[in-house]
Amino acid sequence: MVEGYGRRRYKSDYIRFLVYAHSSVDETRDHLESLFETKSLT
């Protein structure tokens, strides 16, 4: 999101970086759920 904010003058770049950030959050959430379900996360 910080990278996108630095490009906020360019709306399409800003939106693209927000989409990347959102995708990264989804990926992290999925990994954490997998760790929790397998009891690998304490």
pLDDT digits (tens, 9 = 90+) for 3-31: 666 777 788 888 888 899 899 999 999 99
Kindly report the pTM of this predicted structure: 0.67
In order of 13, 20, 21, 23, the CA distances from 37 in angstroms are 36, 26, 24, 21
**Do 6 and 18 form a contact (C-beta atoms < 8 A)?**
no
Question: 17 CB contacts (<8 Å, ≥6 apart)?
Answer: 1, 3, 4, 5, 7
Task: Check residue 4 and give its pLDDT.
Answer: 64
Task: Check residue 2 and give its pLDDT.
Answer: 66
